[in-house]
A and B are shown apart, each in its own frame.
Chain A
Amino acid sequence: MADSFQFELVSPEKLLMSETVTAVSVPGSEGFFTVMAKHAPVMTTIKPGIVLVTPESGAEQRIFVRGGFADVNENGLTLLAEHAEPADEVDMAALDQSIKDAEEDVADAEGVEAKAKAQHALDQLREARAGLAG
């Protein structure tokens, strides 16, 4: 069995999870990565997607997050998620709504840079939706 480390998932409203785990896959904005014990300190933003938590004992958990930050340090991994819920309880209608909002943002965006940013956000949401559905 691999070494374990402390994983904390916090949303603005409360501490959602604080567990000893062996591995966590995080949807970083520059690509997915998996954190295991003794990972080098990293700080990154995360995009909407699924966090895969492998606890020390018991089944894997899939948690859907909507962006946030990941902070890996010597004490473990801390995920500051804007919004998080178990992947199978995700409100698809709400997600579709935010995709629609994002589409409108793309349409409304002025200037190349803003447009690219909005498009990027939309793509991330779509990708997350596809990941959830599949």
Chain B
Amino acid sequence: MASLKDLRNRIASVKSTQKITKAMQMVAAAKLRRAEEAAAAARPYADRMAAVLANIAGAVEGDGPPLMVGTGKDETHLLVVFTAERGLAGGFNASIVKLARQRQRQLEAEGKTVKFLAVGKKAWDMMRRDLSGKIVDRVDFRDVKQIGFTEADMLGERVMELFAKGEFDVCSIVYSEFQNVITQVPTAQQIIPADLSGAGEAEEKGAASVYEYEPEPAAILDALIPRNIKVQILHAMLENAASEQGARMSAMDNATRNAGDMIDKLSISYNRQRQAQITTELVEIISGAEAL
């Protein structure tokens, strides 16, 4: 049995841990709000972009640019894995990497080659042990406070550069979609070749209003597709940022509660032991007095 002093020390140490987790939770809550706002603010652009893209895809005759139609092959897949820069966010990073590995196994079982692009320090940390040969590049945003279009732009350029070099045929992004504080869903989404599943309805719309295109639709599409890729990357990064804070908030909430439970338990055994000690002392005094 631990002595009274040991117990006191443990209680003090758990208390200070609780203070830290509590503070982290509150910081995450504040950051979450900002991240959510940023994600919401980026939505109009993404929506409009999707509308414009769908519209124009209906107007283009023949094949679009390679970024849209792909290389015609389906051999090499690039998975861009987005994680956080920091840990202590529950299963946040692990679940994203897990999904990426799942995809990798699935694709490799089909006989395809898989390459990775690690975004965020944790992705690299978690994958380098067994997958370092497959990671073509890594990017981290350690010094970036607020993720913005500049980062998405940089990353998009890098991905497209790899594509131009023929490093891969299909590119997907793996990130965590923010639903609410408790639920973040790891998601994989294909960005190259562009997934224009919404293009069908647009064709009808395109026919309804006679558009003039300036320059040619194909030329606009050439400029539009890279930008759309960047927008999707930005979307992934913003969702990820919100998810990270959400995950951290609930992880830290749990930790704070655990620490509270622990303090309760420790206090009970501390009090018991103190009582036992007092009783022993009393018994000693009384029996001493009786012996006289």
Measuring CB to CB, which residues of chain A are less than 8 angstroms from any residue of chain B? 8, 10-15, 28-30, 40-45, 69, 71, 73-74, 78, 80, 82-83
Contacts and interface: CB of A to CB of B under 8 A. Distances in A.
A57 to B, nearest CB: 24
A82 B157 CA distance: 14
Size category of the B interface is 20 to 34
B254 to A, nearest CB: 33
A14 B227 contact: no
A-B pairs, 10 with minimum CB distance: A14-B41, A44-B214, A12-B149, A15-B44, A10-B45, A42-B212, A41-B211, A41-B209, A12-B45, A10-B44
Interface in B45-65: 45-46, 48-49, 51-52, 55-56
Question: What does DSSP make chain A's interface, helix, strand, loop or mixed?
Answer: strand
A131 B52 CA distance: 29
Which of A12, A15, A30, A83 gathers the greatest number of chain B CB atoms within 10 Å?
A12
A99 B56 CA distance: 31
Contacts of B213: 42-44
Nearest to B55: A43
Interface of B: 38, 41-42, 44-46, 48-49, 51-52, 55-56, 148-149, 152, 209-215, 219-220, 223-224, 227, 230-231, 234
A11 B48 CA distance: 10
A12 B209 contact: no
A13 B224 CA distance: 17
Given A13-B41, A28-B214, A80 B52 contact: yes
A78 B48 contact: yes
Given A43-B212, A69-B224, A80-B227, 9 more contacts: A8-B48, A13-B38, A13-B148, A40-B210, A41-B211, A45-B220, A69-B223, A71-B48, A82-B227
